[in-house]
Amino acid sequence: MIVFGLGNPGSKYKDTRHNVGFMTVERMAELSGLKLRKACLLSYRKAMRDDLVLVEPLTYMNRSGIIFPSLVKNQDKIVVVVDNLDLPVGRLKIKRGGSSAGHNGLKSIIGAIGEDFIRVYIGISRPKEGIDIASYVLSSFSEEERKKLDKAIDEAVVAIKSIYESEDMNRVIQRANSFNA
H or E stretch at 95? strand 92-96
The whole-number pLDDT of residue 52 equals 86
Q: Is 103 a catalytic residue?
A: no
DSSP-derived 3-state class of residue 48: strand
Using alpha carbons, select from 147, 71, 143, 154 the residue that is nearest to residue 120.
154
The residue extents of the domains of the chain are 2-177
User: According to the model, what pLDDT value does residue 76 have?
Assistant: 60
Q: What residues form the annotated binding site?
A: 13, 60, 62, 104
What residue numbers does the annotated binding site for tRNA cover?
Answer: 13, 60, 62, 104
89 SS3 class? coil
pTM, entire model: 0.92
State the Cα–Cα distance between residues 8 and 60, nearest whole angstrom.
4
Q: What is the reported pLDDT for 81?
A: 98
Bridge partners (DSSP) listed for residue 118: 79, 96
Spatial distance between the Cα atoms of 141 and 132, rounded to a whole number of angstroms: 16
Helices H, strands E: what count in the chain? 6, 7
- Selecting among 5, 6, 9, 18, the annotated active-site residue is 18
Fold held by 2-177:
Rossmann fold (3.40.50)
Per-residue pLDDT tens listing for the chain (181 residues)? 899 999 999 999 999 999 999 999 999 999 988 888 876 556 777 777 778 889 999 989 999 999 888 888 766 689 999 999 999 999 999 999 999 989 999 999 999 999 999 999 999 999 999 999 999 999 999 999 999 999 999 999 999 999 988 778 889 989 999 998 8
What is the model's pLDDT at position 19?
A: 97
Q: How many Å apart are CA 57 and CA 19, to the nearest integer? A: 11
Answer yes or no: are the C-beta atoms of 107 and 119 closer than 8 Å. Answer: no
